[in-house]
Structure 1
Amino acid sequence: MRIFLLLLFFTTAGFSQTVEYQISFKNAVHHEAKITATFPKVETDTLTLRMSRTSPGRYALHEFAKNVYGVKAKDSKGQPVQISRPDPYSWQITGHDGTVKLEYTLFGNRADGTYTQIDETHAHLNIPATFMYSEDLKERPVEVNFDLESQPDWKVATQLKQLEGNKYYAPDLYYFMDSPTEISDYDMRQFQMDGQNIRFVLHHQGTEAELDEYFEKVKKIVAEQKAIFGELPEFDFGEYTFLACYMPNVSGDGMEHRNSTILTSTRSLAESGMDRNIGTVAHEFFHAWNVERLRPLSLEPFDFTEANMSGALWFAEGFTSYYTPLTLVRGDIISPEEYAKGLNGTFNYVWNSPGTRYFNPVEMSYQAPFVDAATSVDPVNRENTFISYYSYGSMLGLALDLKLRMEGLNLDDYMKLLWETYGEPEKPYTLEDLESSLAQYAGKDLARIFFENYIYDSKMPNYEELFRSVGLKLERGSEKAFFGPSVLEDTEGIYISGNPAQNSPAYKAGLDKGDRILKVNGKELKTEKEWNEILNNSKVGDTLKLEILRFGTTKKIDVELEKDPTYTISLDEQASKAAKKARNKWLGNNLPR
C-alpha cells in the first residue's frame, strides 16, 4: 500500500483535525495503561469507536476489545456524553458537541508481534491491541504522547515520527496502526546506508559487548539483502528500526512492519540467542521489500475488522523464509554445511506430509486465518491436511532458484524484477503477475511448468537433479524402522501425542492421538526411554503387538513397521567441479567487490 506522507507543517485548519492520544503507565506492575484520546471536528451525530480485530502482518482474528474497560466519554466542555455498545468491538458516542474526549484502561500482558505487554520492565505496544480508533476519521493525522513521568528511565522506540520529547506523529490511521512501539530502558546501535539510518533497539539483560557482536551480524544481513534487490527501500522519514526485546517475560515472535519490525525472544544473547535469534532478524528485514512494498493485491486494503486472506502467502512468507538461511550463509553467519543440514527439517516436513493430497500452496495460504496465531478449542487434523505456507513456499523457492541456476539464471534477479515492477512503485501484484513476470524473466515454458505443477498443483520437483547441480546430495533409504507419531511420557505412562499421519504405520493400524501404550509384545512399558529402545532394536517389517488404553477400554493392535521415509540433505564432497562452482556462486557472498 502506497502511503503518501503528509507535511509536518499543517495549516491551522488541518492541525485541528488531528486525532490525539495520550498513554501513561502508572499501574504498570499490574499490566495496566491509562489512555485518553481526543477526536475533534466530528461531523456526525454518532461517533463510532472500535478496537481492531486484526493486526498488520497477522491474518487471523484477535479480539483486542476484551482487554478494554473503564470507558468514559465527554464533550469539549467536559460534560459526559452517552455511550452505547452495538457489538462486542465498538462503542457509539452520541450527544457530543463536535468533540469527543475519551478515556479508558487497557490491560496487556503478552509481548509478541500482535499483542501488548505492560509491566515494570517495559511497555511493548502493538497499536491495534492498544488504541481505539474511528474508521470515519482514518485519513486524519495522528499524534500520540507517551507519558513517562512514572518511568523516567524509559525511552521510546518506534517508526512513528518524533515531533518533540515523547510526542510522535503518524500521517494517517493505517500508518499509526502499523507502528509498534517499544518503551523501556533499551540499548541501541545504528549505522547509515545509502543515506538512511538503520537502528537496532534491544531491550535485554545482557552486556554491551554482546550487543556489539550481535549488531555486526545485523549489519551483514542488511548488506546481503540489499544486494539481492539492488537497493534499500525508501524508508519513510529516512529510518528503519529493529525493535528487539530479548527478555524472559516475552513470547517468541517476529512481525514485519513498513519501517520497523518486532523481534521477541526469551533467549538471551548470552545463552542461545546469539545464534538462534538471528534468523528472525533476517526473515523480518527481508519483508521490508517482500510483503511491505512488494505486496499482494489480496491484502489491499488491510481490513482491521475481519480476517485477511491471501493466496500469495507461499510467496510473501515462503520465499522470504527461503531467503532467511540463505542470507545467513551468504553473510558468513552460518557455514555451507550448517545451511545444508538446516534444510533437512523443513524438507522432510513438507515432502513427507499427507497435506499435499488436499491443498496446493495457494490453498495452504488460504488457511492463514485459521493458523496464524489463531486460537480454537476444538481439535483439528492439521497433521494430515496442512503444510505451513512458510515451509512449503521456502522449499518451492529453493526449487525455483536451483532450476533457474541450471538455466544460467537465478532467483535473486527474478526477485529484483518483481521489486522494480511492483515493489518499488508499490503496485500490488496478483498471482498472474508473478507468473507473467517469471515468464518474462525465464521464458513461458519454465513459468508455465512451475506454476501448473507446483503452485496450482502439489507435485514434488525433482530435487535429486536440482541438488546435484549445486553439489548437494539427497538420500533416502535408511533401514531404520518407522512407527510414525511421537510418543510422550507423563505420570501415567506413555501415549501418542499427535494425530498419526495418514501414510504412517500407526495410522494404518488404527492408532489415534491420546492412545496409551500399556504393553509392547507382552512387555509392560512406563517410560519414553523404554519405548525408544524397542523401536531402535526393531527392523523394517517387524510387527509390534501393542496393548493400548482408549476411552477406558484396553485394545490389542498390531503395527507393522515400515522403512523410515526421512530424506537426508548434505554437501556432496564428490561433486563435480562445475557443481561445486555453482554451489559457491549460489551460497557465496553477493556484495560488490
Structure 2
Amino acid sequence: MIRIIFCLTFFLSSIVFQAQISSKYVISFEDAVHHEATVHATFTNLKSDIATFSMSRSSPGRYALHEFAKNVYNIKVTDGKGKVLEATRPDPYSWSVKGHDGTIKVSYTLFANHGDGTYAQVDETHAHLNLPATFIYVPELKDQEMEVTFNVREDLNWKIATQLKHQQNNTYYAKDLQYFMDSPVEIANFRERSFKVKDQTVILVLHDDAASEEQLEAYFEKVKKVVLEQMMVFGELPNYDYGEYRFLACYMPNATGDGMEHRNSTAIPSSRSLAQGGMTGNIGTVAHEFFHCWNVERIRPKALEPFDFSRANMSGELWFAEGFTSYYDDLSLVRSGILTHENYVQGLIGTFNYVWTSPGRQFFNPIEMSYQAPFVDAAKSVDETNRENTFISYYSYGSMLGLALDLSLRERDMNLDDYMSLVWNTYGKNEIPYTVEDLHNTLNIFAGKEFGNDFFDTYIYKSGMPAYERLFKNVGVILETKNDIEFGATVRNQSIANNPKKGTSAYEAGFQKGDKILQVGGIALEGNVGINAVLNTFKVGEKIVVVIERFGIQKELVLNIGTDVSYGLKLMDLNSKEMSKKMKQKQSSWLASKV
C-alpha cells in the first residue's frame, strides 16, 4: 500500500510539473549541410482568443535590433487536435492565429549560418545556437515554464552543452522565457574539462578540432587562473543556478569572433584554433566574459531588467557594465601571470589614445555614449555616420574610467577591487538592479562624498579627463605627451578612408572621406606612401597645396601643417632613483596576483 501511494504521489506530481510547462520545442538538424534546422513548437494554456507568437528582435547582451524573423520560413500551424490554422502577420516579426483550442502547434524551418554570440549557425560541424535567433515564443506565456528537446546528429557524434537544466536524455528545462532566451547552446563533438571551486563546478567546453590534448590542457590552466583571480576581486563566485558555469568555446574556422555573457555561461566563439594563435588570442575574451557573471548578470543595470525581446534595450550604465569589465579583463590577465607588466602597460596605449584624443567627448558624456549602444552594438545600417567624431565606445571609455578610478583610489590607499566588492554585496549578491545614481552613492559611501561627487560630476556626468600623469606616476608608470605632425585622417592607397578628425589640419582644410590624394606640396603621393611621412618634410604652420580628386574632378586644397596630441606609456625602471619604495608597493598592489 505504501509503495502504491508513493508511486501515485510521484505520478501526480509529475503531471502537475508537466502541466506547468506551456512551451515545448523539438529541434532537429537533418539538413545541416544547408544550414537549416527544423523546429516543432507546442504552446498550451493559451487564454487569449487570438494567439500571437513572435521571433525576438533583440538578444541578451546585445542592445541593437537584429530582426531574427528574417531567417524563419515554411511556417505551419495547427491546434491541439491537428486542425490547420491560418497564420496572419500583424507585424514583420510576429504571427497571429485564431480559432485555436487553447493549444497551437507550430513548425518552421530556420536558416542559420552566422556563428557568433548573437545569431545561430547550423552545419555539419555543429549547431551553435543563440536561442533568440532560433526559437519563436508566445509573449502570453513568457512567465511560464519551457522545455526543449534537441534531436542531435548521432552520426556526427554530437553532444549538448548549455546552462539549461537537464531533464532527461536530450531534453532541457527553463523556468521562464528570460532564462530560456539567456541560455546559449553548443551542440558538437566537443571536449570538456572542469574544476571545482568549493561546491560549484566551472566547465570549459571546447569545440576545436585542430587543438591537441596538450593545448587543451594548457589553455584550461589559463582559464582556471583567470577564474580564481577574478574571484578574488569579489571574494566569492556567484551562486550559479544549478551549481555550474560553462565556457562554451567554439574555436572553429566557420565561427565568428565574439563573446557573449549569460547568467551561468558564456558563448565565446572564434575562428582562431588554439593551434593557430588562439592560445593567447582568445584568453582575453574568456577574461572579459567571465567577469560579466558578476558585473552585468548580477550587478545588473535597472534599465535592462527585465530584458525586452521585442525592442532595442537602452542603458546609461554600459560605461560601468561593459567598460569596467573591459578594465578588469586585462588586469586579471596580468595579475594571473598570463600578461607581463610591460605588455599590460603597452596594451593600454591604444585605448588610452582612442578615448582621450577623441573629439567625441565634446558631444556626449559616458552615460550618453552608453545610450548609443542600439546604434553601434553589431547594428546594421547603410547610411554614413560621423562616429569618428561623435562616438567613443563605452567599452573603451569605461575601461579608461575604471583605470582612472582605480588609480585615484590607490592614491588614497584604497582600490577599485574593494569598491567593486561593495557594489557586489549591495546590489549584485542580492540581485537588486542599480542605476547610475546608485553607483554614485556607493562611491560616496566608500570613499567619501567629496571624492565621490567630484569623480561623478567631472568624469561621468561631464567628460573631463583625469590627471593621469600624476596618477600613473604613483604606480611607477610614465605618461608621455607627444605633439607630432598629423594629417588627421587615415589614407590608404592614396584615398582618405574615414571622416577627418575634428580640429585637425585635414578637417580644417575641408578634406572628405573618399578623396584621392594626388600631390602633397608638389610631391606625388603614390602607392602606400604614408601621408604623415610626406608632411614631416615640411614645417609646422607651413601652408601647402594638396591636389585631390573628388567625384572624378581634380581640385586643390590648402593644408596648414599641424600637430595632434598623442600619448605614450612606459614602466619606470624598478632600479631607478625615481622609483620610490612606496611606488613599487603601489604598483605591486595594483598588478600582482591576489590569489
TM-score, structure 1 normalization: 0.95
Structure 2 counterparts to residues 301-450 of structure 1, below 5 A: 301-450=306-455
Partner of 1:521: 521
What's the secondary structure of 2:201's corresponding residue? strand
Show the counterpart of 1:83. 87
Asked if the contact 2:504–2:564 (Cα under 8 Å) also holds between the matched residues in 1, the reply is no
- Aligned-partner residue type, residue 48 of structure 1: T
Partner of 1:244: 249
Secondary structure of 1:228's aligned partner: helix
- For residue 299 of structure 1, report the CA deviation from its aligned partner: 1.0
> Aligned residue for 2:180?
176
| The one of 62, 75, 81 aligned to 2:66 | 62
| Alignment match, 1:72 | 76
Residue in structure 1 matched with residue 197 of structure 2 by the alignment: 193
Q: 1:587 maps to what in 2?
A: 591
Q: Are residue 290 (structure 1) and residue 303 (structure 2) matched? A: no
Displacement after TM superposition at 1:521 (Å):
2.4
Does residue 220 of the first structure (1) align with residue 230 of the second (2)? no
1:3 equivalent in structure 2: none
Partner of 2:572: 572
Instruction: Decide which moves more: 9-18 or 555-564.
Output: 9-18
Q: Distance in 2 between matches of 1:518 and 1:297?
A: 53
* Equivalent residues of 2:504, 2:563 under 8 A apart: no
d(CA) in 2 for partners of 1:149 and 1:271? 28
- The two structures, once aligned, show a CA RMSD in angstroms of 1.6
Residues 1:121 and 2:125 are matched in the alignment: yes
Q: CA deviation at 1:540?
A: 3.6
1:280 aligned residue: 285
What amino acid sits opposite 1:24 in the alignment? S
Partner SS state of residue 569, structure 2 = strand
Pairing partner for 1:16 from 16, 19, 22: 19
**1:303-358 CA distances to partner (integer Å, 9 max, x unpaired)?**
10011001100000000011011000000000010111001000000000000000
Within-5 A mapping of 1:451-462: 451-462=456-467
CA offsets 1:408-454 (integer angstroms, 9 cap, x no match): 11000000001001000000111111111111110000000000000
Amino acid at match of 2:557: I
Aligned: 1:233 with 2:235: no
Report the TM-score when normalising by structure 2. Answer: 0.95
CA contact (8 A) 1:82 1:95 kept: no
Which residue is 1:153 aligned to?
Answer: 157
Q: Distance in 1 between matches of 2:536 and 2:589?
A: 40
- What letter matches 1:569 in structure 2? L
* Residue 97 of structure 1: how far off its partner (Å): 1.7
Does structure 2 retain, via aligned residues, the 8 Å contact 1:481–1:538? Answer: no
Between 1:460-469 and 1:556-565, the stretch displaced more is 556-565
Moved more, 274-283 or 343-352: 274-283
Please tell me whether residue 50 in structure 1 is matched to residue 39 in structure 2. no
Structure-1 separation of matches of 2:60 and 2:53 = 19
Alignment of 1:443-592 (within 5 A): 443-477=448-482, 480-489=484-493, 494-529=494-529, 531=531, 533-535=533-535, 537-573=537-573, 574=576, 575-591=579-595
Residue 39 of structure 1 deviates from its aligned partner by 0.9
What code does the residue aligned with 1:172 have? D
Q: 1:130-145 maps to which residues of 2 (within 5 A)?
A: 130-145=134-149
- Conserved 8 A contact 2:53-2:96: yes
Query: How far apart, in 2, do the equivalents of 1:54 and 1:289 lie?
Result: 22
Supply the distance in 1 between the matched residues of 2:92 and 2:410 (Cα, whole angstroms): 53
Q: 1:572 to 1:66 in 2, by over 3 A?
A: same
Deviation at 1:171, TM superposition (A): 1.1
Q: Say if 1:548 and 1:556, in contact at 8 Å, map to a contact too.
A: yes
Displacement, 1:509? 1.1
Q: Once structures 1 and 2 are overlaid, which stretch shifts more, 573-582 or 449-458?
A: 573-582
Match of 1:4 in 2: none
CA contact (8 A) 2:115 2:256 kept: yes
* Rounded Cα–Cα distance in structure 2 between residues aligned with 1:231 and 1:540: 56
The more displaced of 342-351 and 298-307 is 298-307
* 8 A contact 1:40–1:100 mirrored in 2: yes
The aligned counterpart of 2:260 is 255
Please, which runs of 5 or more residues in structure 2 have no aligned partner?
Answer: 1-9
The Cα offsets for residues 222-248 of structure 1, whole Å up to 9 and x where unpaired, read as 000100000000001100000111111
- 1:523 and 1:96 map into 2 onto residues whose CA distance is 77
Following superposition, the deviation at residue 14 of structure 1 comes to 3.9
Instruction: Report Cα offsets for 1:367-423 as digits up to 9, x if no partner.
Output: 000001111111000000000011001101101101111111100000000100100
Partner SS state of residue 85, structure 1:
strand
Amino acid in structure 1 at the alignment position of 2:465: M
Query: Which deviations, in whole Å up to 9, do the C-alpha atoms of 1:72-100 show, x marking residues without a partner?
Result: 01122222112111111111122222221
Aligned-partner Cα distance in 2 for 1:228–1:476:
32
Question: Any idea what the Cα deviations from partners look like across 1:192-250, whole Å, max 9, x if unmatched?
Answer: 11211101111112211111111111000000010000000000110000011111111
8 Å CA contact retained: 1:477, 1:563: no
Preserved contact between residue 71 and residue 110 of structure 2 (Cα < 8 Å): yes
Instruction: Give the superposition deviation at 1:504.
Output: 1.6
- Residue pair 1:469, 1:579 contacting (<8 A) in 2 also: yes
What amino acid sits opposite 1:60 in the alignment? A
Letter of the aligned partner of 1:515 in structure 2? D
Percent sequence identity is 57
Offset at 1:150? 5.7
| Aligned residues of 1:485 and 1:501 also touching (Cα < 8 A) | yes
SS in structure 2 at match of 1:265: coil
Q: Secondary structure at the match of 1:36?
A: strand
SS in 1 for 2:495: strand
The one-letter code matched in structure 1 to 2:45 is K
Q: What CA distance in whole angstroms lies between the structure 1 residues aligned with 2:222 and 2:11?
A: 35
* Equivalent residue, structure 1, for 2:7: none
Match of 2:90, SS state, is: coil
Return the letter of the residue paired with 1:446. F
Distance across 2 between alignment mates of 1:265 and 1:352: 31
1:255–1:263 Cα contact (<8 Å) kept: yes
1:108 to 104, 107, 112: 112
Q: Could you say what secondary structure the match of 1:529 adopts?
A: coil
**Does the 8 Å contact 1:348/1:567 carry over to 2?**
yes
Letter in 2 for 1:270: A
Among 23, 30, 37, the residue aligned to 1:33: 37
Paired with 1:530 and 1:152, the residues of 2 have a C-alpha distance of 51
2:18 maps to a residue whose letter is F
- Separation (CA, whole Å) in 1 of partners of 2:448 and 2:171: 52
Task: Tell me if the contact between 1:475 and 1:568 (Cα under 8 Å) persists in the aligned partners.
Answer: yes
User: Number of paired residues?
Assistant: 580
Say if 2:44 and 2:102, in contact at 8 Å, map to a contact too.
yes
